[in-house]
Amino acid sequence: MRLYSLLKPLRLGFGRQLRGAKGGLLRATPEQMVNEAIMALKRDAGRLSSRQRDIGLALLVAAAVVLVHAVKGFPLIYGENADNDSLMRMVEVLDWLSGQGWYDLHQYRMGPAGGFLMHWSRFVDAPIAALLLLAKAVTGGMESAQTIVEILYPALLMAATLYLLLRFVRRLGNEEALLPATFIGALALYQLPLFQSAALDHHNVQLVLVLMTMLFLLEAPRRPMTGFAAGTMAALSLVVGMETAPYVALAGAVAALGFLFRGEAERRSAAMFGAGFAVVSAASFLATVPASLWAAPRCDAFTLPQMSIAALAGAGLFVIATVPACGATFRNRFLSFMVLAAAVAALLVLAFPECLAAPYAGLDPKLRTYWLDSVTEAQSFRRILMAQPVMVATYYCTPFLAALTMLLRARRARPDRDELIFGAFLLAAVLVSLWQVRGVYFSIPLSIVPLAVWVGEWRARIADRPVKGGAAKLIAVWLLSFNIAWSSAAEAAIGRLAPQKASGGGVVPQGACLSPGDYATLASMPRTTVLAITNLGAPILRYTGQRALAGPYHRNAEGALAALNALIGTDQEALAVIRRYGVTIVASCPGNVETKSLDHEAPAGLAARLGRNERPAWLAPVPSTADQPLKLFRVVLK
């Protein structure tokens, strides 16, 4: 949709005033001119398709969010940014643009000598790199291009997310639900870290891909080729990251169960889903995994186990839906699916039994205690409820309420296919969020749709049959649908009952050493290996040319464990690590939450001693300004 079509109503409104200006413009009041422009806007909007209107709304909301960030000074770009994955993503993209191979996902500047192999996908790097090259061509400088991409990329993904949610609202609700969806969606997505400026992590891409999978599944019976698109999006979301495995499994179950129970009505769409899922899974494997690693299965990324299972499941669904003997009757379909399920299970158990273990089963117990147990997005609902109740109110109340509204709606009237599928995905997201907080990245956006439909039903009800107290009820329904209302109420309540738990989390404390300016001195020093806490690993790589021994990535277990032993152990243990890994600079950040945790757990360790200005004789301070939170020490060995 051209920008002209959005501006045309205003041109028409003022144009009519100007055409009547001969002797008449001065008699037109500002109110008349505005009313004329509004009427023109409504007339022109009526000529746009629903898709065009939804795209326009989504782009306007994304632009408004960017404006809010701009008014705040883009704090995550120029200030404290604790999103290690987004920082590391930019590092990975810049390394690729600097000559690192497409298939080479090693991070050479982190961990032991030679670095370690990251578990991310080039499929996320590619669009970021394309935007960087485009912005560089416009601005002439890579630094300016990075800033533009950090602003533009999350905004575009937010617009795509809101657009897809508006399409769901049109299917599940009425016209009265579109306005609530816009406002509820804008505030809910704004509060999520997925769409903040500088958010380059892959969860926002996964959300868009899962929403597209769902939308194509809803369309599939009417337009079978969209089944292929659904299978494609499901496969791509899995290639980007294994976090979407529950939703991909559910999408496959929807396609299979639709064919199982509805037979011919969903035969072609099921076949197309299976074909898309199998073909794209195999093609993605070839496109992202080098031949040298085909026989090196990893359970935390899309490698041989995931590709084999996806290809078998997708191909099996295609065969069952296309071979008459397999799908002719309900009994045949049921038996065929049982055989396919047994084959998939046998492949997993016999060929890749290691993938049945918990994701971090092999992680060193010390790293689990000192690192993994403090990663917020990996925490369970129970742990967050005890530690950060305000975060629970912010992230869980609206998804729970959305699920409740769908259940109550199902009691009043039998849900149709669209409602059943959408409800299944919402329930899956809520269950995942109870296991790990990162599930709210899906449950909160999905909750926008039923909440908007709920508000829309109340708006239509009160408009048709005004009742006493109806306005108050409508206001209450509106307020209950906003995350910010729940978080504000919880903040006020917890502030009175337990002030120490009043903070909702996610606020980076001052002096946490996460701003670009904190690394100016380190960036100016000769390149070497730096010993620091894991929280500083990604910022060191992003803002300097140095190597970092530790970083918050489970595949860098050796580097992270070595750094931990040095920071909490004796001088002898610290020196052993320094000599083994060639460390010449030790960085200390007393204001970082990880440092404070180490201070508490190991008050006699190196990290705690440096925080108290008790440095050993083999460390010499690097001169810096008094207000510099990052303290640097040069290793001086005889």
Scan for tokens 């992590």, then name that residue.
201
pTM value? 0.90
Q: What is the mean pLDDT of residues 410-432?
A: 95
Query: Which ranges of 514-605 would DSSP assign to H, the alpha helix?
Result: 520-523, 537-543, 557-568, 571-581, 593-601
Decide if pLDDT at 18 tops 50. no
Distance, CA of 227 to CA of 213 (rounded, Å): 9
Decide if pLDDT at 25 tops 60. no
DSSP-based three-state secondary structure for 631: strand
pLDDT of residue 51: 92
pLDDT of residue 297: 86
pLDDT digits (tens, 9 = 90+) for 279-304: 999 999 999 999 999 998 899 999 99
The single-letter DSSP state of residue 328 is S
pLDDT digits (tens, 9 = 90+) for 303-312: 999 999 999 9
User: 239 and 257 in contact (C-beta within 8 Å)?
Assistant: no
Residue 53, Cβ density class (10 Å: 0-12 exposed, 13-18 middle, ≥19 buried): middle
pLDDT of residue 17: 41
Q: Which of 221-230, 326-335, 368-377, 410-419 has the lowest mean pLDDT?
A: 368-377
pLDDT of residue 138: 96
Q: What's the pLDDT band for 574 if we cut at 50, 70, 90?
A: very high
The tokens for 274 are 């299976």
For the chain, give the mean pLDDT. 90
Query: Which ranges of 98-202 would DSSP assign to H, the alpha helix?
Result: 122-139, 142-172, 178-191
Per-residue H/E/C for 237-300? HHHHCHHHHHHHHHHHHHHHHHHHHHHHHHHHHHHHHHHHHHHHHHHHHHHHCCHHHCCCCCCC
Q: 474 Cβ partners below 8 Å, 6+ apart?
A: 455, 458, 459, 462
Q: What's the pLDDT band for 633 if we cut at 50, 70, 90?
A: very high
pLDDT of residue 336: 97
pLDDT of residue 507: 62
Residues pairing with 585 in the sheet:
530, 634
pLDDT digits (tens, 9 = 90+) for 489-547: 988 888 777 666 655 455 667 789 999 999 999 999 999 999 999 999 999 999 999 99
Q: Which one is the CATH code of 516-635: 3.40.50.12610, 3.40.50.880, 2.30.30.60, 3.30.70.100? A: 3.40.50.12610
Secondary structure (DSSP) of 22-48 = TTTGGGS-HHHHHHHHHHHHHHHHTTS
Instruction: Tell me the pairing of strands 529-531 and 583-588.
Output: parallel
Decide if pLDDT at 348 tops 70. yes
**How many beta carbons lie within 10 A of that of residue 532, not counting itself?**
30
Distance, CA of 405 to CA of 553 (rounded, Å): 39
Distance, CA of 208 to CA of 234 (rounded, Å): 11
More confident residue, 418 or 364: 418
Per-residue H/E/C for 490-524? HHHHHHHHCHHHCCCCCCCCCCCCCCHHHHHHHHC
pLDDT of residue 502: 58
User: 61 and 186 in contact (C-beta within 8 Å)?
Assistant: yes
pLDDT of residue 376: 76
Strand (E) or helix (H) holding 632 = strand 631-635
Distance, CA of 573 to CA of 467 (rounded, Å): 75
Q: 573 Cβ partners below 8 Å, 6+ apart?
A: 565, 566
Report how far Cα 370 is from the mean position of its chain's Cα atoms: 25
Strand (E) or helix (H) holding 621 = strand 619-621
Residues pairing with 110 in the sheet:
548
Q: What is the mean pLDDT of residues 476-488?
A: 94
